[in-house]
Amino acid sequence: MIQKLQSLHYLNEEAFARSWALTRAQRRGFGPKRIEQELRHKGIGQSLVRDALRETFEQVDETERAKRLLTRYFKGGDLTEPKTLRRAAAFLQRRGYSSNVIFNLLRYSIEDD
């Protein structure tokens, strides 16, 4: 039965991984670490996860997406204030963004003010 579903392309891990990664990045604003964790939890192999993430983040700019999330969720917050800055960093970290993206984004937003 499973082979028949695969032959009819109803079960295709590669297509699922690509679709899942792109949807989670575009609609939920998740970063690569979070998406990787979700796909691995769903039993997708490391090579498929890596390919799906590469393809997704060629289409979705990770830094730009993180910036939009900060603007949306912290629009009234002063990112020069240490408490707000820690909250923003923790928020982005939970969303799966890398430390480099978080640091660079928050450093530049502080310098802009």
Does one domain contain both 68 and 50? no
Rounded to an integer, what distance in angstroms lies between the CA atom of residue 59 and that of residue 83?
33
What's 79's domain CATH number? 1.10.10
Where does 1-113 have alpha helices with state H? 2-7, 13-27, 32-41, 46-59, 62-73, 82-94, 99-112
Does one domain contain both 66 and 55? no
Q: Read off the pLDDT of residues 32-55 as tens digits, 9 standing for 90 and up.
A: 999 999 999 999 999 999 999 999
Q: Distance from CA of residue 19 to its chain's centroid? A: 13
Residue range of the domain that includes 50:
2-59
- What's this model's pTM, rounded to 2 decimal places? 0.78
- Tokens, residue 23: 């949807």
Say if residue 113's pLDDT is above 50. no
Virtual torsion, Cα 93, 97, 103, 105, nearest 10 deg:
-120
Does one domain contain both 108 and 83? yes
Q: Give the number of domains in the chain.
A: 2
